[in-house]
Chains A and B, each alone.
Chain A
């Protein structure tokens, strides 16, 4: 099998699973317990937090553990809305965010908040000028993803940060779920960024764990009230095995990061060069530096995305329609629609998402399968 769906989820690293299992078996005390068995769990929790903070050159008390990306996005957006509702009820985001952001925003709209959804250009990038124009006196949050999960476009976080430098009271949130291990640390932790969302299973940690970055001095309301864990901001007994495993996965993903990025780029290049020769192909992911190295989205005009996915699957190659979260529903990619891609092309889009463990040999095999399938698809083109 060739797994090219790493933006949906990644395979947990075996040594990371090993940590998960060792902690589950041996250090299963509750970090809140007073006895030294609980104390041991508490120490491991702190050491995991410190390791994550050290990797990102932030402070341990700026790291808060969550259950994953969806919770992180929900918490930062709703937590800001609750915390700052007295100061304003206007939020700004983009039309290409992950549903964890978009649907959270829509829920807030139903509660009386106002949301501006900024458009993107043909390349899938939002403009900092649009952010500037959308800011109102009652704006409390700007939420923009770092790497778009559907086409891989890197958003102009630094430029938006510059705009927001003049508005120090507005919370600036970046969804960094697709940005880990892609050489984007400086962008994510721009000094104006206040919050960032991370999800463990996108970088070889187990499911059900993630964390947020909350800059020192910023505050959001908790969504989980209870026993007071995570400085009383995210209650619930800490998922220590997963947290320790995630800390390890984060360390591993940053080892030889540049070499891993180069590997993803060369695999992606091998596919792009090959498929671009065909007339009915539209490639949305560019190879310029403002696109992430691991995402390649393209359309075969005239063939539905799910048809392409299943055709590849029959040959043992796993890809997806543009986002795993929406691919089971009859939905067109939100990002491609926002990029003003005509609907008949948007519905023909599929995403190849890579990992450093993917090889050029796999790309070549993909290319062979592609050629075979393309010949078959040509019959459908005629009918259209």
Chain B
């Protein structure tokens, strides 16, 4: 079956009222970007649906790519036919023969936007169904819960036939919710939090703190690789790496052990907020889940949050670890996240950090370090890069290996 186009349904977008035009334009742009390396594909965002014409492009890789684009509820590969009912019968039969397996049920569902077409909806349902049953005598009709739903869409420019509906990523088109700054560690939670934020339309940039020589190049490469995985949904992500060694060493030297972690986190948050302000970000995102570790009690969150009034959004705050892992597996970050490279959150972790830090004491202990000077020096050494899907940071020798394999 030679599919000619893909029909995309918007879902939640359709409820957006006045903003819908902006949303659809953004989605059209994002989709075009996601499909940029298929030169013959054309994206046509329309008010009720988006039509992607294939112009001879193999549909399968296009379908795979679309699964990742936020703002798409579902989509179907479609065959465009002339307005000739005989051609519809033939194509319906061919399509059904391809997917039918013994015991499956089906129904025909017709939408007739073109009221000039001589047959009405019921007649089309009946006749196309009849043609299928003649070709596949064992197939049963089930109008309530069919295995295959054969969709016939009679439009002004032709009749469109499809039988397969693929679930999209849902959510809102990235970019419609403004820019956010994600504190990405490299663990399981923060990539999931980033994904969930992007799914609500946030244009996310990643901040990663690294502390050489305590953390390795591999830990940094891992954070970049996670970003490359997340970039599959959005095309490209800015990666902001901030050196954290001096700050960590100073805190370790000056601050009582129980408050190491709290003050470290406050410094990270300060740096993130400053970066966000510089880059027109509206909120900080992180992967904190309530109660998971010492820094993730509400007391801790309060003591850390104290340094800023910028909103801190914690998409996974109320999720169980098992729920977070499930999402991580689905979005392909889990296997990377569990690779055993120390990140800078764990290297100086004291054996018993305060789970209920006192805010006043925190502020007092922090006076022992030169906050402004440390921040200035860290910001001076920030490096920003753009990370794209498919890039490989974990395996610099991929091309060499490709010759072996």
Contacts and interface: CB of A to CB of B under 8 A. Distances in A.
A244 B400 CA distance: 13
Given A61-B335, A162-B102, A162-B103, A43 B394 contact: yes
Contacts of A138: none
A48 B405 contact: yes
A21 to B, nearest CB: 10
B360 interface: no
A51 B401 CA distance: 11
Given A39-B218, A61-B335, A162-B102, A244 B405 contact: yes
Interface in A222-273: 244, 247-248, 251
A364 B146 CA distance: 54
A287 interface: no
A23 interface: yes
Contacts of B19: none
Interface in B260-303: none
A48 B397 CA distance: 13
A251 B102 CA distance: 33
B250 interface: no
B405 A247 contact: yes
B134 interface: no
Contact of A19 (B329, B397, B398, B404): B404
B395 interface: yes
A46 interface: yes
Interface size on A, as a range, is 20 to 34
A60 B229 CA distance: 15
Given A61-B335, A162-B102, A244 B404 contact: yes
Interface in A154-200: 158, 162
Interface string A25-60: 000000000000001100110111001000000001
Interface string B382-405: 000000000000110110011011
A40 B102 contact: no
B164 to A, nearest CB: 15
B103 A47 contact: no
B103 A44 contact: no
A47 B405 contact: yes
B401 A47 contact: yes
B395 A47 contact: yes
Interface in B38-96: none
**B103, B218, B405 interface centre (most CB from chain A within 10 Å):** B405
B218 A19 contact: no
Interface in B314-371: 329, 335
Contacts of A162: 101-103
A22 B401 CA distance: 11
A43 B405 contact: no
A43 B222 CA distance: 13
A44 B404 contact: yes
A104 B329 CA distance: 33
A251 B403 CA distance: 12
Nearest to B218: A39
A23 B405 CA distance: 10
Contacts of A40: 397
B395 to A, nearest CB: 4
A23 B403 CA distance: 12
Contacts of B394: 43, 46
A250 B397 CA distance: 21
Given A39-B218, A244-B405, A251-B405, A47 B102 contact: no
Interface in A290-320: none
**B102, B401, B402, B404 interface centre (most CB from chain A within 10 Å):** B404
A23 B404 contact: yes
Nearest to B335: A61
Contact of A248 (B102, B218, B395, B404): B404
Contacts of B101: 158, 162
Given A43-B397, A251-B405, 7 more contacts: A39-B218, A44-B401, A46-B394, A51-B405, A60-B335, A162-B103, A247-B405
23 contacts: A19-B405, A23-B404, A39-B218, A40-B397, A43-B395, A43-B397, A43-B398, A44-B397, A44-B401, A44-B404, A46-B394, A46-B395, A47-B395, A47-B405, A48-B405, A60-B335, A158-B101, A162-B101, A162-B103, A244-B401, A244-B405, A247-B405, A248-B404
Interface of B: 101-103, 218, 329, 335, 394-395, 397-398, 401-402, 404-405
Interface of A: 19, 22-23, 39-40, 43-44, 46-48, 51, 60-61, 158, 162, 216, 244, 247-248, 251
